[in-house]
Amino acid sequence: MELQNYLKTKGLDSLQSEFKIKINRHQEFTNLVCLKYSQLESPLENLIVQQCRGIILDEANNWSVVSYPYDKFFNYGEQSAAKINWDNAVVYEKLDGSLMTLFFYQGEWRVQSSGTADGSGQVNTSKYSFKKLFWKVWQQLGYDFPQEIEYCFMFELMTPYNRIVVRQLENQLTLHGVRNVNTLKEENPLIWSNKYSWQIAKTYPFNDLSAIIKATATLDPLEGEGYIVCDTNFNRIKIKSAEYVQLSHIRSSITTRKILEIVITNEGEEFLTYFPEYVKLHQQITERYEKLVADIETTYQDHQNLPEQKDFALAIKHLPYAGTLFALRAGKVSSVKESLKNTSIPKLESLLNLDELDFDFIIQELR
C-alpha cells in the first residue's frame, strides 16, 4: 500500500513533517505505531493521508499492518468523495459514537481507538479510558472473541460516557466493518455479525442519493446522525443531518466556561433539553453563582449606608468582587447580576472556584 511504501523509503519523521500525521505508540508494544491525519493541517485529498485514519503498523516488522480500520471517506458533495455504484450499494445508519477496532497481537485480542494504538485516551471527563470502557461494555453484552486472528473488527462504542449528540440510553457496541489484515481486503460485516451474534449497524432501503438527502431533512438529530453509503467495492460516502451538524458544533464546544455563560444568561432550560447529562454540572455552577450573588448583595447592604466614599472603599477594597460593589454604589449597574453579566468569564471562574469541581458527575454511571 502507498503508506507502507512511503515509510519504507522516507521514514516516519518525513511522514509526520510532510503530511502533518499524528503519531501514537502503543504503551506496551512501542513498535506499534498508530497514524492519524490532522483534520486541519493534513492534505486530506492525498491517498497516503487518507490511509492514516487509525491504521496501526509494526515499525519492527517492515511496517506490516497490525490493524487497519478504514481509509478516510468524505461527505457527499465534497470534491474527494468516492463514486458509488448504486446498483449494489447498501445504506447504513451513521452511528454517533467512538470508532473502536478489535485486533489480534502477541497472542491476545486488543483494542484501539482511531487515535491511540492501545485505546488509552480518556473518555471525555470521566475516569474511563476508551480501552476500559470498551471491555466493560464487551463483557456486559456477553460478546465472544472471534476465532479468526488475521482479521480486525470495527465497532462503534456508544454509551452515556462518550455521547456526542445522539442520546445514548444504553451501552452498545455495534459492528460496522471487518478487514483481513493480511490481504487488506474488507468483507461484509453481516456475515461476522451473524456468526458471533454481535449487533450490527442498521440498513435502510434507499436506492439513490436524493432519497437519503430527503430522509436526513426530517431526521431528529437526537435520534440519528445520518447515513453511510457503501458499495461492494467498499467505496463510502456519508450524508449527515444538517441539524445534527449544528448540534455537534455546539456539543464540541461545551466546557465549564460554556456552562457558566449559559447560567449567567439564564438559557439553561433550552440547553439541558438537548444535553440532559449536564444537568448536575449546570446545577452545581448555578448554586455557586447564586451564592456569590447573595454574598455580594449582603455585603453591599452592610456597607451601602456609609456616608463617605473613602470609608466605603476602605471597607470593601480587599474583596475579590469590589468592582461590583463600587459599580452598585456609583449607580452604574442596577443589580449584582447585571454587573456579573458584564464581568469577564475568567474572573467569574475565579470568583466561583470552578476548578474545584469534580467532573466525574457530568456523565451518569454506566448501567
Per residue in 271-319, pLDDT (tens digit) is: 787 778 788 889 999 999 999 999 999 999 999 999 999 999 999 999 9
116 and 110 Cβ atoms separated by less than 8 Å: no
What is the C-alpha to C-alpha distance for residues 322 and 336, in angstroms, rounded to an integer?
11
Question: Which residue shows C-alpha cell 466614599?
Answer: 309
Residue type, 323: G
Query: Is the predicted pLDDT of residue 356 greater than 90, yes or no?
Result: no
Phi then psi for residue 122, to 5 deg, are -80, 140
Q: Tell me what pLDDT residue 270 has.
A: 64
What is the C-alpha to C-alpha distance for residues 156 and 202, in angstroms, rounded to an integer?
12
Contacting residues for 229 by C-beta, under 8 A, at least 6 apart: 76, 84, 89, 90, 91, 92, 209, 212, 236, 237, 238, 239
Taking only the tens place, the pLDDT of each residue in 117-175 is 999 998 876 678 999 999 999 999 999 999 999 999 999 999 988 888 898 989 999 99
Q: Tell me what pLDDT residue 245 has.
A: 82
Contacting residues for 202 by C-beta, under 8 A, at least 6 apart: 92, 93
Q: Tell me what pLDDT residue 363 has.
A: 40
Q: Tell me what pLDDT residue 367 has.
A: 37
C-alpha angle 124-117-129 in degrees, rounded to nearest 5? 30
Q: In the chain, which segments carry CATH 3.30.470.30?
A: 69-247
Average pLDDT over residues 44-51: 97
Question: Which residue shows C-alpha cell 452604574?
Answer: 332
Say which residue, 75 or 149, is predicted with more confidence. Answer: 149
Task: Map residue 230 onto helix, strand or coil.
Answer: strand
Say which residue, 162 or 48, is predicted with more confidence. Answer: 48
Percent of the chain with pLDDT over 70: 96
Average pLDDT over residues 85-102: 96
Q: Tell me what pLDDT residue 141 has.
A: 98
Q: Which sign does the torsion angle of CA 303, 307, 308, 311 carry? A: negative
The candidate with the shortest Cα–Cα distance to 119, out of 206, 194, 32, 201, is 32
pLDDT band at 366 (very low <50, low <70, confident <90, very high): very low
Phi then psi for residue 298, to 5 deg, are -65, -45
Query: Is the predicted pLDDT of residue 81 greater than 70, yes or no?
Result: yes
Largest CA distance in the chain: 87
Average pLDDT over residues 4-8: 98
User: If you ran DSSP here, which 8-state letter would residue 363 be given?
Assistant: S
Q: Tell me what pLDDT residue 259 has.
A: 87
Say which residue, 305 or 358, is predicted with more confidence. Answer: 305
Taking only the tens place, the pLDDT of each residue in 228-272 is 999 999 999 999 988 888 888 777 767 788 889 889 888 787 678
What is the C-alpha to C-alpha distance for residues 14 and 20, in angstroms, rounded to an integer?
9
Query: Is the predicted pLDDT of residue 358 greater than 60, yes or no?
Result: no
Question: Across all residues in the chain, what is the average pLDDT?
Answer: 92
Query: Is the predicted pLDDT of residue 362 greater than 60, yes or no?
Result: no
Structural fold of domain 69-247? D-amino Acid Aminotransferase; Chain A, domain 1 (3.30.470)
Say which residue, 267 or 56, is predicted with more confidence. Answer: 56
Count of CB atoms situated within 10 Å of the CB of 208: 13
Q: Tell me what pLDDT residue 265 has.
A: 83
Q: Tell me what pLDDT residue 266 has.
A: 81
Beta strands in the chain (DSSP E): 22-25, 32-36, 53-58, 64-67, 74-75, 90-94, 98-105, 108-113, 151-158, 172-180, 186-187, 203-204, 226-230, 236-240
The candidate with the shortest Cα–Cα distance to 120, out of 111, 128, 129, is 129
